[in-house]
Amino acid sequence: MNIAVLGGGSWGTTLADLLARKGNTIRLWIRDPEQARLVASQRVNDRYLPGVELCPSLRVCWDIGEVMQGAQCVLVAVPSQFIREVLSRHKHLFPEHGVVVCASKGVENRTLQPMSRVVAESLEGKSPRYAILSGPSFAQEVSRQLPTAVSLGCEDRQLAHTLRDVLSTDFFRVYTTPDFKGVELGGAVKNIMAIGSGIADGLQFGHDARAALITRGLAEMSRLGRAMGAQERTFMGLSGMGDLVLTCTGDLSRNRQVGLKLGQGQKLEKILASMRMVAEGVRTTRSVYGLGREYGIELPITEQVYKVLYEDKDPRAAVQELMQRSLKDE
C-alpha cells in the first residue's frame, strides 16, 4: 500500500518504519525542513527515536504535497491539539473518500471533540473513511520489534480488516472493533490516569494506591464512554484496560513521568519546559474535565488531576480528597 505518515515524532516515525519494513511504499512527513533533512540523511530520528536505524526504503520529507502524492491511506500521528490545523490547512491534498488512520490520543481543548470528529470536521466535504489506532504501545518498544498488541476501531468492517492486515506484523498484532468511539476515548483518558498514577507513586503511596487508581480510572473511563455512545466492553480491551495498565505502571510513559515529578513536588511549568516530547494527558485533562461537566458525569480522578495541573492544588490534598469522598457501592 502507498501510505503517507503525518507526524515525525516518536510514534509517526515508528509506524512509518514498521510499515516500510513490511514492503509498503511509505513517506513520512516531518514539518521542520532542517529536521527532515537530518533524519533523511542520517537515517535515524535522533530527536524523537534515538538509536533506531530507519528502513532504507522509508522516504522522509518536509514537503507535505510530495508526501501525500498517490497516498491510498494517510496515517496521522501529530499531537492531538494540532491535528485540526494540519488537516484543514492541507485538506486540498486529501482525495475524496480517502482512508485516514488516526494514531494520536487526545481530546481537542477548544471543541472537546475526540479525534474521529476532528478528522471528519477538518476534512469536511472529502468524506474521509477513518479508523482509530490505539492501545498499549510504547514507540521505544515497537521500534525495537518487541511483541505488542493494539486495537483498531473502524465502523467499516471490510476496511478494518484491510487495515489490520496492512498494519500487523509478527511482533505487532492488531485487533479490530467497530467501536471507534470506545477505542479513541480509552486512548485519551488513560493518559489522565497515567498522570494520576505517577502522582501517587511520586508521593510514594504504594502499590495499593496505584491499583485503586487503575481500577477506578477504568470505571471513570467507562462511565464517560457510555454517556458518549461508546460500548462499555471496549474499555476492558487493549485501548482501555491494556493502555491503562501500561501507562500507569510503565516508566516509559511520558504522562506517568509528568505525574511522578508533580508528586515529587516539581511545578508543571518546569516539568513541561524540561520535556522535548508531548504528554497528551496534560491538555486532555482539561478537555475531559469539560466533557464531564457537559455530560453531567462524575469524574473524580480527572477532577483532582485537573486541579493539580491547572489550579496548583497540592497533590497530597488531591489524593486525600479522593479518599474522603462519600462511600458507595462498587
Known binding site: residues? 7-12, 31, 48, 82, 105, 135, 137, 139, 190, 243, 253-255, 278, 280
What are residue 105's phi and psi, to 5 degrees? Answer: -120, 115
Please give the C-alpha separations between residue 36 and each of 59, 62, 273, in angstroms, as whole numbers.
10, 6, 23
Minimal CA–CA distance to 58: which of 41, 74, 46? 41
For ligand NAD, give the closer residue by CB, 177 or 239: 239
* Residues in binding site for substrate: 105, 254-255
136 contacts which partner out of ligand NAD, ligand G3P, none, CB within 5 to 8 A by kind?
ligand G3P
* Binding partner at 9 among ligand NAD, ligand G3P, none, C-beta below 5 to 8 Å by kind: ligand NAD
The verdict on whether 328 is a catalytic residue reads no
> How many helical (H) and strand (E) elements, i.e. helices and strands, does the chain have?
15, 10
CA distance 13 to 29: 9
Q: Is the dihedral of CA 1, 154, 160, 52 positive or negative?
A: positive
Pairing mode of beta strands 99-102, 129-134:
parallel
* CB 183 to ligand NAD: min, Å: 12
Which residues are near ligand NAD by CB under 6 A?
7-12, 31, 48, 77-80, 82, 86, 103-106, 137-139, 277-278, 280
Residues that bind ligand G3P (CB under 6 A): 105, 136-138, 191, 194, 243, 246-247, 253-255, 280
The catalytic residue among 190, 261, 270, 328 is 190
Report the amino acid identity of residue 11: W
Contact 74, 3 (CB under 8 A): yes
Cβ nearer to ligand G3P, comparing 64 with 193: 193
Residue 89 CB, shortest distance to ligand G3P, in Å, is 25
Catalytic (active-site) positions:
190
